[in-house]
Chains A and B, each alone.
Chain A
Amino acid sequence: MSEAYFPVGPGLGLEENFLSLDDILMSQEKLPGRAESTLPRLAFALGQGAGTGDSIPEGSNLEIPLWLAKGLHDSKRRIISVELPKIYKEAWRTVFSADANVVDLHKMGPYYYGFGSQLLNFVNPENPEIAQTILQTFISRFRRIMDSSQNAYNEDTSALVARLDELERALFRAGQKGLNDFQCWEKGQASQITASSLVQNYGKRKFTDMDG
């Protein structure tokens, strides 16, 4: 009711939300893969050649954005094959299960949860473990997000959010908003009328400036 508009949230599951900006940004993240067959004249498009006529030879390694990988991946036609990025592999999975709180999820790819959920679309024997790891990471980091978002009133929060990925940052903002609303009400500012943020930049003339 107090928001000007409601943005479409990320899908966060095996399906993405078409209209969600978060999902669009997330699917731009790159995935390591290999070309299974020669891709004629596509070297330029995939950033690997200088001329428009170059083709990508079979078996070369590529970094493909997720949206492209999802579209081209098909076990029957063998155009490209994808591998897991390293943070979803065995080594990092044990790090997450040991202590998820110390990991800087923003540096690891700011869309850890969303991207991980999309990876489950590709057929891969490690999928159940990946799904389990993502869930457990979220659960163990939940406490810290809750505590830091509900206790930091009127302070600089950049140090707190620096290590969170985008999903956790949205949660952090929700927690902060709850806290700020309560504090604002307690001070009595909730009943003051203030200009809406949408119209503050309009530069309308004030009454004193009008002629006649």
Chain B
Amino acid sequence: MEPAEAEFLAEKELVTIVPNFSLDRIHLIGGDLGPFNPGLPVEVPVWLAINLKQRQKCRLIPPEWMDVEKLEEIRDQERTEDTFTPMPSPYYMELTKLLLNYASDNIPKADEIRTLVKDTWDTRIAKLRLSADSFVRQQEAHAKLDNLTLMEINTIGTFLTQALDHMYKLRTNLQPGESARSQDF
């Protein structure tokens, strides 16, 4: 899966906006949205929120976890723990990128937030690599990692599965089992 696909899945998450237009309830295949009244906050999926924002029809309200103190807390917790901490949203990386690119004027201290999320991301990726290394080194058959997000899995996924494939094939060489197949003339 590519990062763009993970971003597409992330756009289904709900976010609060304050529209400046009015519209009755709209009925979409995925569910109903609205009604939209100017000045009243309403929850919509991110894809719609970004679209409305680009057409200057709404103001985005950042999710409650996108706040400097909360993110600092999460980052510090991530650094002290050996296992992965649960993230406030399974799509935190994609949402950060989308919201900060399109709606940074609605989000206070956008640059600090970007830095904090990047720090947390770097710490998690480092932990992931450490655990992949110990997995390979001890040749274990199973590993369980909680609280990983899709984007992190994608970044390391291809490499890790290929390496484990190679390791598996090299391990089956150790079985003395079947004799070599030679051609008989």
Contact = CB atoms under 8 A, between A and B. Distances in A.
A178 B158 contact: yes
B166 A134 contact: no
Given A1-B2, A186-B97, A146 B176 contact: no
A145 B166 CA distance: 14
Interface residues of B, number: 37
Contacts of B133: 142-143, 146
A135 interface: yes
Interface in B146-172: 151, 154-159, 162-163, 166-167, 169-172
Nearest to B151: A182
A78 interface: no
Contact of B173 (A13, A174, A181): A13
Given A142-B133, A185-B3, A185-B7, A171 B163 contact: yes
Max count, chain A CB within 10 A of own CB: residue among B137, B156, B163:
B163
A135 B173 contact: yes
> Main SS of the interface on chain A?
helix
Contact of B159 (A15, A123, A128, A171): A171
Nearest to B138: A139
Interface in A74-110: 74, 77
Interface stretch (A28-36, A113-121, A199-207): A113-121
Given A171-B163, A190-B2, 10 more contacts: A15-B181, A135-B167, A143-B136, A146-B163, A149-B159, A170-B162, A178-B157, A178-B158, A181-B2, A182-B155
